[in-house]
A and B are shown apart, each in its own frame.
Chain A
């Protein structure tokens, strides 16, 4: 009887600990969002102001009307959407080949894609800088859209391959026995079944491009500058403009957080290149 009681208390304590731990991970984000609504004085107050402040929208007003944040959001959206769609378009046929055909060196080629995916952006960004200058494509949307394919296409292939392999091949085979071509069997049977996986992959690629910093920072200047690289505008000679920065961070991370929560079910396979099913 007594033992039972201690184990219940123990498990309650563990529950409490879990809540505290999870809150600790959430807290810096909450503090960031709340700081977007604080005045300059409240941001710098020590001890920090947690709840006792009067919310203000001045920073949002500032970034929309004076810092033209919508222009950079538009750039980010164009680049992320185009690069994502192009990636998916190129990656779907390749994914299907890796998942459904047997050919020589299949795994070797698949790993070849993976190794290219490992190349750090910062290590080739200056070479890309010279290439962009030579091709007269510096500070253009199209250059970033194409360059991101180097990382996104291998990622999409590895991600989606698992989804296609999870669909029984017999479904396609029976359609082909009924006289459908391989393409028709793919279009009518497999494509609708992998749509969820494709959508999740697309969203995760979108998040990656939306957040990408090092390439966007060094390959654009004014015309194609994206959201994450606007941080440079907040670091001025007279110090960092924290209020507008927090407001921008709040706006910029909001769509990503919402998207991530939508595809939560796929998040584990997304993080592991499809190696682990969540």
Chain B
């Protein structure tokens, strides 16, 4: 018994957790490192997709320079589409989601059924959602039927002007429930006392909403926003299946750009360079948002 104790004491304290983390660390970082090294290597060569790797010609950082500065590069146009897509999805989803969360945050029968229903769009197969979206947004589709019923006009959602709106609307349908469910859970855990005190002091509903609910919900709103932000920025499947980035480049967000450069233009080098830029953009913007949230948390 005493020998056992001594043996245990001699083991350095970091050893046990290190051994426990080791398998996860090795697996995850090995896959990541292997992919990262190959990706970087591919980004510094000139190679046509389909040719064997030995045909690759090293070109240094030329692919990056081309993407960022060449007049034929559509990288900046892609970035503009990506920003429109981000704003077009995230802002309505947040506002509508918050409003519906407030609506559901009342005592009424069937609430648990409603939250169960809202889980469904989130867990559907995205590729199937994309294909369904394609049918619903066709000229004789469901969306036009409702538009015609209310406004008397049918739209060409497959055209250059509206294609981005179509993929945005699909995302809003799929992911507004994400905001609803999380913000509703947050609303239900808010403390009751401040609201009662405010009512006693004669505060109006609007006042208690803007002065109590909003500030208390802010950290959660930011967390939800960051999670969605990461996801929208890397979304590929739905847009790929619906319009594959077209017509033209109207729905080519960064992930679609990576696909089109690598497989449609068959330029592995530039595609890989675009991939690395996509990773850098996602990670750095998310780090900034996380830092921002921490600062707000401390001030609150």
A binds B: yes
Measuring CB to CB, which residues of chain A are less than 8 angstroms from any residue of chain B? 11, 14-15, 17-19, 21-22, 25-26, 28-29, 31-32, 43-44, 46-48, 90-91, 93-94, 96-98, 101, 103-104, 109, 113, 115-116, 118-124, 126-128, 130-131, 134, 146-147, 149-150, 153-154, 157, 182, 207, 210-211, 213-214, 217, 227-229, 231, 234-235, 240, 242, 245-246, 248-249, 252-253, 256-257, 259-261, 264, 267-268, 271-273, 275-278
A118 pairs with B28, CB closer than 8 A: no
Residues on A with beta carbons closer than 8 Å to the beta carbon of B272: 126-127
Bound CA–CA A104/B223 (angstroms): 26
Chain A at the B interface: SS class: helix
B27 pairs with A90, CB closer than 8 A: yes
Stretch at the interface among B63-71, B133-141, B192-200: B133-141
Mask of B31-44 contacts with A, CB within 8 angstroms, 1/0: 11011101100100
Chain B residue with minimal CB distance to A94? B24
B286 pairs with A248, CB closer than 8 A: no
The 4 closest A-B pairs by CB, nearest first: A120-B234, A94-B24, A97-B20, A123-B275
Which of A25, A130, A242 contacts B118 (CB under 8 A)? A25
Residues on B with beta carbons closer than 8 Å to the beta carbon of A214: 236-237, 240, 255
Bound CA–CA A131/B176 (angstroms): 37
Bound CA–CA A260/B181 (angstroms): 13
Q: Which of B101-143 contact A (CB under 8 A)?
A: 103-104, 106, 108, 110, 114-128, 130-132, 134-136, 140-142
Which of B20, B49, B227 contacts A96 (CB under 8 A)? B20
Stretch at the interface among B86-94, B159-167, B276-284: B276-284
Residues on B with beta carbons closer than 8 Å to the beta carbon of A98: 21
Total inter-chain residue pairs, C-beta < 8 Å: 251
Chain A residue with minimal CB distance to B109? A15
A96, A122, A271 — which one has the most chain B CB atoms within 10 A of its CB?
Answer: A122
Which of A104, A157, A240, A260 contacts B123 (CB under 8 A)? A260
Stretch at the interface among B10-18, B74-82, B206-214: B10-18
Known: A31-B142, A249-B125. A123 touches B31 (CB 8 A): no
Known: A48-B145, A90-B23, A120-B282. A240 touches B131 (CB 8 A): yes
A273 pairs with B279, CB closer than 8 A: no
B145 pairs with A47, CB closer than 8 A: yes
Mask of B197-236 contacts with A, CB within 8 angstroms, 1/0: 0000000000000000000000010011001001001101
Known: A25-B173, A261-B116, A271-B182. A240 touches B134 (CB 8 A): yes
Known: A93-B23, A97-B16, A228-B127. A275 touches B283 (CB 8 A): no
Residues on A with beta carbons closer than 8 Å to the beta carbon of B13: 103
Is B168 interfacial (CB 8 A cutoff)? Answer: no
Bound CA–CA A264/B118 (angstroms): 11
Chain B residue with minimal CB distance to A113? B28
Known: A18-B114, A126-B275, A146-B31. A272 touches B24 (CB 8 A): no
A242 pairs with B135, CB closer than 8 A: yes
Residues on A with beta carbons closer than 8 Å to the beta carbon of B118: 22, 25
A271 pairs with B178, CB closer than 8 A: yes
A229 pairs with B255, CB closer than 8 A: no
Residues on A with beta carbons closer than 8 Å to the beta carbon of B16: 97, 101, 182
Residues on A with beta carbons closer than 8 Å to the beta carbon of B241: 213, 231
Residues on B with beta carbons closer than 8 Å to the beta carbon of A150: 28, 31-32, 35
Chain B residue with minimal CB distance to A179? B1
Residues on B with beta carbons closer than 8 Å to the beta carbon of A119: 32, 279, 282-283
A123, A130, A150 — which one has the most chain B CB atoms within 10 A of its CB?
Answer: A123
Chain A residue with minimal CB distance to B27? A149
Known: A94-B21, A272-B223, A273-B227. A249 touches B128 (CB 8 A): yes
Residues on A with beta carbons closer than 8 Å to the beta carbon of B35: 124, 127-128, 131, 150
Residues on B with beta carbons closer than 8 Å to the beta carbon of A245: 128, 131
Known: A46-B145, A96-B20, A122-B255. A25 touches B176 (CB 8 A): yes
A256 pairs with B131, CB closer than 8 A: no
Q: 15 extra interchain contacts, Cβ-Cβ under 8 A, other than A25-B177, A119-B279?
A: A21-B103, A22-B114, A25-B118, A32-B132, A118-B282, A123-B275, A126-B49, A213-B126, A228-B125, A229-B127, A231-B241, A249-B131, A249-B132, A253-B128, A256-B123
Chain B residue with minimal CB distance to A100? B17
Chain A residue with minimal CB distance to B118? A25
Bound CA–CA A48/B145 (angstroms): 7
A-B contact pairs, 23 of them (CB 8 A): A22-B118, A25-B177, A46-B140, A93-B24, A94-B23, A120-B279, A123-B279, A124-B35, A149-B31, A150-B31, A207-B123, A211-B127, A213-B237, A228-B127, A231-B128, A231-B241, A234-B131, A249-B131, A253-B125, A259-B123, A272-B224, A276-B185, A278-B185
Known: A25-B118, A44-B140. A122 touches B132 (CB 8 A): no
